[in-house]
Amino acid sequence: MNKESNNVLVVGAGISGIASALELANSGINVYLLEKEAVIGGHSASFCCKATDVCSQCSACVVPDKIKETVSHPQIRLLTNSTIRRLSGELGNFRVTITQKLQYIDQERCIACGLCTEVCPTDPKAIHPSFAEATPFSYVLDEELCLRFKGEKCDLCRKGCPTKAIKFKGESKEQELSVGALIVATGFDVFDARKKGSLGYGRYPNVLTGLDLEQIFTREGCLKLPASGVEPRNIAFIQCVGSRDEDHDYCSHVCCKYAMKLSGLIKYHNPDARVTIFYIDLQTAGKGFAQFYEEYKENIRFVRGVPVEILQTASGELEVRFEDISQGKVCRDTFELVVLSVGISPSKESWDLARTLGINLSDNGFFAERDSMNTNETNIDGIFIAGTCQGPKDIPDSIAHGIAAASKARQVLTESASQRQGNQGRH
Amino acid sequence: MNNCIVAFCCEHSAYPAADLAGKLKLHYPENLRIIRVPCAGRVDLIHILKAFEKGAAAVMVMGCEGGACHHMTGNTRTKERVKYCNLLLREIEADGRLVAMFNLSPNAPHKFVGAVNEITKRIKESGR
Amino acid sequence: METKIGVFICNCSGTLNNIDFDAVVKKVVELPGVTSIKFISPLCLEEGKKKMLSCIREENIEKVVVAACSPEFKEHVFREVLENAGLNGHLFSMANIKEQCSWVHEGDVTGKVVELIKMAVSRTRLLQPVKMNNFSVNREVLVVGGGFEAINAALQLSRAGLRTTLLEREAVLGTGTTELENLCGFDINAMVMEVKGDENIEILAPAEVIETSGKIGDFNVRIRKGGEEISRKYGALVIATGYQTKLALESKLKSDVNIVSQEKLCHMLEDPELRIRPRTIGFMLDFADENSRLPTLATLNNALAAKRKWGSEVYVFCKNVKVDSERIERLYQEARDCGVMFLKSDVSPKVAAENGKIKIEAKDIFLGEDINLTCDVLVAEECLLPAEETEALSSILNIRRDSRGFYQDENVHLYPVASEKKGIFFIGGCRGNLDLSRVLTDVSSVVVSIYKLLSSGNILAEVERVKVDPQKCVACLTCIRICPHNAIQLVRVDGGKEVAEICDLACEACGICAAMCPAKAITFQGYRDEEILAQVETIGES
C-alpha cells in the first residue's frame, strides 16, 4: 500500500471530526485534521457543564478530554485556519488543495504569554486570546481593530513578541495533500433567531438564545443578565425556535435537553427562580434523560404551545403573549429573561463545500447521506460525512457518528488497498 | 505548614478546571497547593491526615461530577473516605468541615474558585 | 548514589513577571538530588527542546523536573524530549508555575514557585521507570445476540478480518427483530444467509454464556450448547441482545376485545385473508413510558399503513410525539396530512370494553374538549424493557447496568459503545432505546473500536505500573471487588498462596485499588504513597 493512500483528511475539528480523527489515528492511520477557525473543538467546546449535585449527562466535559488527546496525538496533523480549495481524484487517491489563511500569529510559536495584548494601543485590544477554553491556546489578531489595517504603522506587538510569532506580511498558503479518503464534519450553524423578528432577539437585551446562556454560564459561572448584571428570578424558555416550523421540517434533537438541563442548573443556583418552558412536544427520550425529566417536572412550569410575540415593557421586563390552550384564550405573562431554544441549522458554508467536493445536499440543507441506512456515506465513494453536518445530533450522537464514519473510512481504505495490490499482482 | 490548603485534584476534572481558572485570570488565595492525582479515588486517608499533621489548614479532594467519574466509582469512594475523615477530625475536636470533597467538571473554573473560596471561608470561621 | 535530577525552568518569555527567578534558582540549587538547573525560555518551542535535550545528554541527567506551564497540554512535549534522550518518560514531573501560580495570584509569588518546584523534586526523587511491552491478544470476537444488530456486527467484523462467533439463545437467527423497528429495506433473511455462508463466522445457536473470566485480548467464555458445555477464548465481547417490549394495559380489560400490539397490527395489515377491516383504530403512545422513540416510529408507520390500506379512521392518543430521530418529523407531518388525528393530553385516557368494541374517554388539550370514541381496534402502548437475560448476563460479565436495567452505566465517558471493562462492548437496543440509524452507527463504532484493539494481534501497554506485592497481599479480595474496570483477578503463586494480580492490559491506572488495599500491597508507580506523601510533606517547609 503506498503511504498516501493510507491518509485521511477530516474536514472540521468539531467534536465529531475529533472523534473521527482520534479513532482513525488510533487504528494506525495518519490524519490531517482541517479546521477553518484558529481553534479546535467547534461549538461543543463552548458549552458549559450543566451538573447540579449530579452529572446531568450533557457531555460537555467529554470535549476537553478529546481535544487534549487530539492535540497530543502523534498521528494527527492539525491544519487550522484552513479551508478546502479543490478536490480531484478518487477513492484511495484524492488530491486536495487546501488554503491556509495568512496567519498573523504563528500558532506553533505563540506561547500565549500575553505581552502583545499588553502593548496593543487600541481599545478594545486588537490582539487577544481567542477564548479561555481555546485549544490550541493562542492569540488572534482582529483586522477590524488593528491600526495597521487602518493605514498606520503600528509595530508594537510584533516588536514585543518574545518568540517572533507575529508577522504582518505574507500571503495565504496553498498546499496539496494526497489522501485516501475524506471525512466531512463541518458541523452546524445555530439558527439565527433574528429571523423570527417578533421574538425580539437582537432588539431586546434580555432575549437571549440557548447558546448565549451557555456562554454566560461558561464565562461567569452563574446566570447574570448581560445588560444589568443582576440575577434573573423569572425566566422563560421558548422551544422549537428554528426547528419544526414551515422552513425546518426536522426536530433539532438537542433543544429540549439543553433547555431542561439549563433550567435545572438555574434552579440549582437559585432555588427561588421561576422557570417556564413553552413547548410543542417534549423530547425526553434518550439514555439517562427520562429520569431527569421526572425531577424537572416538579420544579419547572411546562406550558404547551409556543409564543409568537414578545414585547418589552417600559420597565424593561418582557411580556410574552401565548395561547393558553387549557383556557382557549391569549394570555400574557412577564419575564425578566426569555431564552430562545434555537435549533441546529445547516452550516452556511456547506453549499460551497458541497460544490467543491461534488457531494449532494439534502433538501433541508444538510449533506445528503447515500441512503437512509448509510448515514455516513455520500454519493461519492471515499467521502464520508459525520456529525451535525448530516443532521441534528447531540454530543454523544455526534461522537458516535464520527466514530462510525472513521470505521467506514478505514474499511474502504483497507479494501481499496488490497484490491489495488490484487491488480498489481495480476499485471 | 503555614496554614496551607492542600487540594488533591483529579487530572480529568479539577486539575484542568484550575488551569482554566488561570487562563481566565481568576484569583484565589495563594496558600492553595495543588497535588495532581489520576483520579480522586487514589486519595487515601493517610494522605489527608498527613497534610493535617504537617499543619495544613484544610484539605480539599476534588474529583469529577457525581455520575461522570472517568473511573466510574472513584469519586464516590473517596467521598466516603472524606466523610470518615470528617468524623475523625471531630473526634479530636477539630472542625470536621475543614476536609471536604468537591465535584466539578473540567470546564468549570468558576466552580473551582468557588470551592477554594468556600474552604477559605470555613477556615476563617473555625478561627485558624 | 543519589540520581541526578535536572530542573528546567521556563518563564514563558519573561511574562511571568511576578516571580524572582534568580531567587528561585538560588533556593532550588540547594535541594537534594538536583544537579543542574537550566533556565531556558521558551522551553516548549523547538529551540528550547533542543537545548533541553543536549543538556540532559551532556550533564547525564537521569530524572527531570520542568517548572513551566500546565502539564495538561505540554506533558507529552517534554516527555518526548526525555524519551529522545533515552530516559524513561515516567522519570519526570512538572511544576505548574504559570496557570496555577503566576496567573492566579497578584503580587510576588516567588515563595510559592520555590515550593511547587520543591514538591515536584521531592516526588521525582522517588519515581521509578515504567516499561512498555507488546501484549499479544486473541483476534477472535464473540457477538452475543442473534438480532439485526448482532448479525450486522458479525458481518462487518468478519469483513474487517476478525474471526467472529455469533451466539444466539434461540435456535434460529433473526427472530429477535421486533416489529417496532421498520427495517427500511434491510432483508434480515438475506443477512442470515450471508452469515451462514461466511467462513469467518461461526454460529452457536441455541446457546448461552454461562461463565466468563479473563480480560481484554484473552477472555475465557464457557458456553452451554445443546446439552454440553464448551470453553472458548476471545479477544473481545460484543453484547447485542436487544430489548423486549411489554404492553401497558389495564389487566381488567376483557380478552375478547381487539386490543393488540404493534406487531399484531403489522400482521393484520399484511394478512391477505383478513375479512373485516377495522374502521376505527386507536393508538396509545407516550403515557406509560417516556422513552418512546421506537414506539413512536412504529405508531407513525402503522397508522399511515392502516390509513392507506384500509382507509380506517386513525386516532393517536399521546402526551408528546417523540420526533428526535432521523426523519420522524417528516413522517409525523405525512401522517397528519393523510388524516391521522393526534390527540394530545397529559393524562392517560380511560379505556373500557363495550359490546366487543373499545370505548376511549380522553381529553384533548388543543380542542379543550372531552372526547368519547369507540374503536374497533386499539393498539396498546408498548414499553421498552431490557431483554430477559440482561440481568443474568450482566452478573456473569460483572458489568453495571443503567437505572432502567439496560446495559451500560449512565456515564458520559462510556458513550457510545464502551463498557467500564475494556474489551466488552454494547450495541443497539440492549443499551437503551435506539432507532435504526443509531443502531447502525453503533455497529460501525464497535467494529472500529475492536479493530484498533485486536487487528495487529498486539497491544502496547505499560508493564506493572500498578502492581500487587504478593508478599503483602492477604487475598482479602477488596481490590477485586472495587476495581471499576475489573482488571484484577486472583491467581495462585508459587507455594500455593492465592494473591491478587493486576492485568496490565485491562488496568486504566486510576489507583482506586491502591487507596483501598488494607494491606497496602498495591503500588501505583508515579502515585505511590511515598510519592504523594513526599509532596504533602514538602508543603510549607520554607
**A330 and A359 together in one domain:** no
**A353 and A314 together in one domain:** no
Is the CB of B23 less than 8 angstroms away from the CB of A221? Answer: no
Point out the domain boundary residue: A294, A327, A343: A343
Point out the domain boundary residue: C107, C130, C153: C130
State the residue for C-alpha cell 476478525.
C162
**C394 and C354 together in one domain:** no
Strand pairing report for A173-179 and A93-100: antiparallel
Q: CA of B15, closest CA in chain A: separation in Å?
A: 12
B43-91 pLDDT tens trace: 999 999 999 999 999 999 999 999 899 999 999 999 999 999 999 999 9
**Helix pair angle (C328-337, C293-310), 10° resolution:** 30
**C251 and C370 together in one domain:** yes
Strand pairing report for C381-386 and C243-248: antiparallel
**A222 and A97 together in one domain:** no
**Region for residue A96 given its phi and psi (left: phi exceeds 0; alpha: psi -120 to 50; beta: otherwise):** beta
**C453 and C331 together in one domain:** no
Q: Which chains touch A (3 or more CB pairs under 8 A)?
A: B, C
Measured distance CA(C357)–CA(C371) in Å, rounded: 16
- A261: CB partners within 8 A, 6+ apart: A50, A56, A58, A292
**A217 and A303 together in one domain:** yes
CB nearest A51 (choices: B12, B65, B110): B65
**A331 and A209 together in one domain:** yes
State the residue for C-alpha cell 508594537.
A156
Burial bucket for residue A128 (CB in 10 Å: 0-12, 13-18, 19+): middle
Q: Considering only alpha carbons, which residue of chain C is nearest residue A64?
A: C72
A292 falls within a domain: yes
Residue C520: which domain range?
Answer: 464-524
Cell numbers that stand for A81 in this block? 485556519
For chain A, give the mean pLDDT. Answer: 90
Statement: residue A300 has pLDDT above 80: yes
The pLDDT of residue C41: 83
**C14 and C116 together in one domain:** yes
CATH label of the domain that carries residue C407: 3.50.50.60
Residues of C in contact with A58 (CB under 8 A): 412
**A322 and A375 together in one domain:** no
Domain tally, chain A: 2
CB nearest C532 (choices: B25, B47, B81): B47
Statement: residue A273 has pLDDT above 50: yes
Residue A212: which domain range?
Answer: 191-343
Residues of A in contact with B109 (CB under 8 A): 132, 221
pLDDT-based confidence at residue A1 (cuts at 50, 70, 90): very low
pLDDT-based confidence at residue A134 (cuts at 50, 70, 90): confident
**C169 and C266 together in one domain:** no
pLDDT-based confidence at residue B127 (cuts at 50, 70, 90): confident
Residues of A in contact with C452 (CB under 8 A): 23, 26-28
**A273 and A404 together in one domain:** no
CATH label of the domain that carries residue B91: 3.40.50.960
A403-426 pLDDT tens trace: 999 999 999 999 888 888 877 765
**A384 and A351 together in one domain:** yes
Point out the domain boundary residue: A303, A325, A343: A343
Statement: residue A2 has pLDDT above 60: no
8 Å CB contact between C466 and C511: yes
**A224 and A303 together in one domain:** yes
The pLDDT of residue C256: 65
C409 falls within a domain: yes
C143-179 pLDDT tens trace: 999 989 999 999 999 999 999 999 999 888 887 655 5
C529 falls within a domain: no
Best mutation target, C512, C528, C542, to test chain B (most B CBs within 10 A): C512
Q: Considering only alpha carbons, which residue of chain A is nearest residue B14?
A: A61
**C148 and C260 together in one domain:** no
Q: Considering only alpha carbons, which residue of chain C is nearest residue A280?
A: C320
CB atoms inside a 10 Å sphere around CB B89: 19
Q: Considering only alpha carbons, which residue of chain A is nearest residue C77?
A: A72
Mean pLDDT of A385-398: 95
**A200 and A295 together in one domain:** yes
Residue B65: which domain range?
Answer: 5-125
A120 falls within a domain: no
A60-70: b or e for each residue (b if 16 or more CB lie within 10 Å)?
bbbbbebbbbb
**pLDDT exceeding 90 applies to what percent of chain A?**
62
Tell me, yes or no, if C135 comes closer than 8 A to chain A by beta carbon: no
Helix (H) or strand (E) holding C108: none
pLDDT less than 70: residues of chain C: 1, 176-185, 250-256, 542
Q: What is the pTM of this model?
A: 0.94
Most confident listed range (A10-14, A67-71, A324-328)? A10-14
CB atoms inside a 10 Å sphere around CB A247: 11
Measured distance CA(C526)–CA(C524) in Å, rounded: 6
8 Å CB contact between C466 and C522: yes
A319 falls within a domain: yes
Is the CB of C368 less than 8 angstroms away from the CB of A253? Answer: no
- A421: CB partners within 8 A, 6+ apart: A1
**C86 and C207 together in one domain:** no
DSSP-derived 3-state class of residue C127: coil
A135-174: b or e for each residue (b if 16 or more CB lie within 10 Å)?
bbbbbbbeeebbebeeeeebebbbebbbbebbeeeeeeee
Spatial CA neighbour of A404 closest among A42, A93, A24? A24
Domain tally, chain B: 1
**C454 and C414 together in one domain:** yes
Is the CB of C536 less than 8 angstroms away from the CB of B54? Answer: yes
**C10 and C88 together in one domain:** yes
Point out the domain boundary residue: C434, C458, C482: C458
Is the CB of A113 less than 8 angstroms away from the CB of C368? Answer: no
**A314 and A201 together in one domain:** yes
Point out the domain boundary residue: A277, A311, A343: A343
CATH label of the domain that carries residue C498: 3.30.70.20
Measured distance CA(C322)–CA(C329) in Å, rounded: 9
**A381 and A334 together in one domain:** no
Domain tally, chain C: 4
- C175: CB partners within 8 A, 6+ apart: C146, C147
C135 falls within a domain: no
Q: What angle do CA A379, A380, A381 make, to 5 degrees?
A: 120
Tell me, yes or no, if B4 comes closer than 8 A to chain C by beta carbon: yes
The pLDDT of residue C251: 62
The pLDDT of residue C1: 66
CATH label of the domain that carries residue A86: 3.50.50.60
CATH label of the domain that carries residue C22: 3.40.50
Hey, which residues 364-423 in chain C have their CB within 8 Å of chain A?
Answer: 365-366, 368, 402-404, 406, 408, 410-413, 415-417
